[in-house]
Amino acid sequence: MNAFAPDPDRRGKAADKAAFVRELGRHLGAESLLTDPEDLRPFACDALTAYTRRPWIAVLPGTVEEVRQVLRLCREYRIPMVARGAGTGLSGGALPLEDGVLLSLTKFDRVLAIDPVNRFARVEPGVRNLAISEAAAPHGLYYAPDPSSQIACSIGGNVAENSGGVHCLKYGLTVHNVLQVKVVTMDGELLTLGSLGLDGPGYDLLALIHGSEGLLGVVVEVVVRLLPIPETAKTLLASFASIEAAANAVAGLIAAGLLPAGLELMDRFSIHATEAFVHAGYPLDAEALVLCELDGMAGQVEADAVRARAVLASFGAKELREARDEAERKKFWAGRKAAFPAVGRLTPDYYCLDGTIPRRRLAEVLRRIGEWSREYGFAVANVFHAGDGNLHPLILYDAQKPGDLARVEEFGTRILELCVAVGGTITGEHGVGVEKIDSMCIQFTPAELRQFHALKAAFDPEGLLNPGKAIPTLHRCAEFGRMHVHGGRLDHPELERF
């Protein structure tokens, strides 16, 4: 069975499909319904371009009521549906279905309200992440989570993936910064999760919807918490003679009781690639560099910077620079945020991983990745959110070379297995989507996967919302044939077979 496609019995019959489209047409204007293969081409993939598939049809509703109608009809006709925001996802979560509806939320692009007194913004799901901070800036407020794609990615997608960013070490993930969401469920019901206070009534469904990858409902409105723009920010750049030394310095900063706003690590390859691309002023003789940003009230930042410098020096920082002004600080970060495209210029294709590990295992895991890189003959660029142990190794390859993609995926899977074995996870912020669905079998037991499916069924009993993503079937895991290695402490050689 191909888990990326719905079960055949779930698909609407051809005659029903014609009736479905006619009914849709009664609720949506003709311009909101795309059926021409040419019009459907832009929806064939998200930012994980290795997987493409044209949807059967695409709908672009403009109101919550229209979204409800679309979902009600899909349920009635048993037609599967995939929701899509800006399409910047990195795990194929928005990959459409050949027999399904692609629901695009791009028309939901309005900032509905900024409440500076209660410090929240009420926005539609298609609003870009950065646009929220721009709208809040006149009030001295901003929205903290800042994924690297923040100029393009939408807040609805951020909720679906529980996006992180370079500042989440101190300010948390999307789930920590959203107060309320409105969600349309598969039966067309509009639910309000959370509240305009700091918590909501009942079970914490607001937390549950974060990172649910479009499997539980369609987000149609988001209320995010806004924070005061920090008075000042200082960014330190430290270079090291080895990546291990840099990784140890990162652990040292946290152990010293510092909580930097951002703490990033780049290896030699990424430094050179980035420098050639955006000229951030990075030291080219370093094996690794650490970017450490401290923000807050001026006096606090001064005190923290003195301590951070001492820690970095004690771990053998060769060169220790502080951004002299705001322009240089932005340049330091521009380099980091451009690291993926910078590496992309040097290779026909790259495969980006997203495992997270305990910080103390950083040096060891990086060493193993280096060994495997030589073994497979693929170069690896390491650039990641070191403060929270979130790795982003980029494996460089050429998809045109026969067999290379398969070998890269094998290499990637080994890295993810290692992440789980040292007590980490297969995905820190990019999501499982279609890309890492087999690796879910490594991280979870059959009983845990069954619990996920039961939870999903409480929202969507017929499995029509984004089927085949995020949670593998037990059947698929049995075919994948990998052993579950939970947290490195519980081996399950008795893994059930199906």
Nearer to another protein, 19 or 310 (CB): 310
Count CB atoms within 10 A of the CB of residue 31.
8
Nearer to another protein, 126 or 296 (CB): 296
Nearer to another protein, 299 or 348 (CB): 299
> CB of residue 343 vs another protein: minimum separation in angstroms?
21
d(CA 158, CA 181) in angstroms, rounded, equals 12
Q: Which of residues 136-175 bind another protein (CB under 8 A)?
A: 139-141, 161-162, 164, 168-169, 172-173, 175
Nearer to another protein, 255 or 483 (CB): 255
Nearer to another protein, 28 or 247 (CB): 247
Q: Which of residues 378-417 bind another protein (CB under 8 A)?
A: 385, 388-390
Q: Is 487 in the site for another protein (CB under 8 A)?
A: yes
> CB of residue 46 vs another protein: minimum separation in angstroms?
15
Q: Is 493 in the site for another protein (CB under 8 A)?
A: no
> CB of residue 20 vs another protein: minimum separation in angstroms?
25
Count CB atoms within 10 A of the CB of residue 24.
23
Question: HEC profile for the chain?
Answer: CCCCCCCHHHCCCHHHHHHHHHHHHHHCCHHHEECCHHHHHHHCCCCCCCCCCCCCEEECCCCHHHHHHHHHHHHHHCCCEEEECCCCCCCCCCCCCCCCEEEECCCCCCEEEEECCCCEEEECCCCEHHHHHHHHHHHCEECCCCCCCCCCCEHHHHHHHCCCCCCHHHHCCHHHCEEEEEEECCCCCEEEEECCCCCCCCCCHHHHHCCCCCCCCEEEEEEEECEECCCEEEEEEEEECCHHHHHHHHHHHHHCCCCCCEEEEEEHHHHHHHHHHHCCCCCCCCCEEEEEEEEECHHHHHHHHHHHHHHHHHCCCCEEEECCCHHHHHHHHHHHHCHHHHHHCCCCEEEECCCECCHHHHHHHHHHHHHHHHHHCCCEEEEEEHHHCECCEEEEECCCCCCHHHHHHHHHHHHHHHHHHCCCECCCCCCCCCCCCCCHHHHCCHHHHHHHHHHHHHHCCCCCECCCCCCCCHHHHHHHCCCCEECCCEECCCCCCC
> CB of residue 384 vs another protein: minimum separation in angstroms?
11
> CB of residue 201 vs another protein: minimum separation in angstroms?
4
Nearer to another protein, 101 or 305 (CB): 305
Give the up-direction half-sphere exposure of residue 112: CA atoms within 13 A in the CB hemisphere.
12
Determine contact, residues 298/232, Cβ cutoff 8 Å.
yes
Nearer to another protein, 40 or 64 (CB): 64
Q: Which of residues 200-239 bind another protein (CB under 8 A)?
A: 200-205, 207-208, 210-212, 215-216, 228-231
Q: Which of residues 12-51 bind another protein (CB under 8 A)?
A: none
d(CA 223, CA 120) in angstroms, rounded, equals 7
Contact string 357-376 vs another protein (x = CB under 8 A): xxxx----------------
Number of residues that bind another protein (CB under 8 A): 98
Among 42, 299, 377, 481, binds another protein (CB under 8 A): 299
Nearer to another protein, 172 or 283 (CB): 172
Among 18, 19, 151, 259, binds another protein (CB under 8 A): 259
Nearer to another protein, 120 or 378 (CB): 120
Q: Stretches 11-19, 280-288, 367-375, 452-460: which one binds another protein (CB under 8 A)?
A: 452-460
Q: Which of residues 337-356 bind another protein (CB under 8 A)?
A: 356
Nearer to another protein, 119 or 318 (CB): 119
Q: Stretches 234-242, 273-281, 340-348, 440-448: which one binds another protein (CB under 8 A)?
A: 440-448
Among 47, 273, 432, 464, binds another protein (CB under 8 A): 432
Determine contact, residues 462/10, Cβ cutoff 8 Å.
yes
Which residue bears the tokens 């791009």?
Answer: 106
d(CA 101, CA 74) in angstroms, rounded, equals 8
Nearer to another protein, 39 or 189 (CB): 189
Nearer to another protein, 271 or 391 (CB): 391
> CB of residue 267 vs another protein: minimum separation in angstroms?
20
Q: Which of residues 180-199 bind another protein (CB under 8 A)?
A: 180, 185, 189, 191-192, 195-199
Q: Stretches 11-19, 60-68, 112-120, 310-318: which one binds another protein (CB under 8 A)?
A: 112-120
Q: Is 452 in the site for another protein (CB under 8 A)?
A: yes
For residue 242, the one-letter residue type is: S
Q: Is 459 in the site for another protein (CB under 8 A)?
A: yes
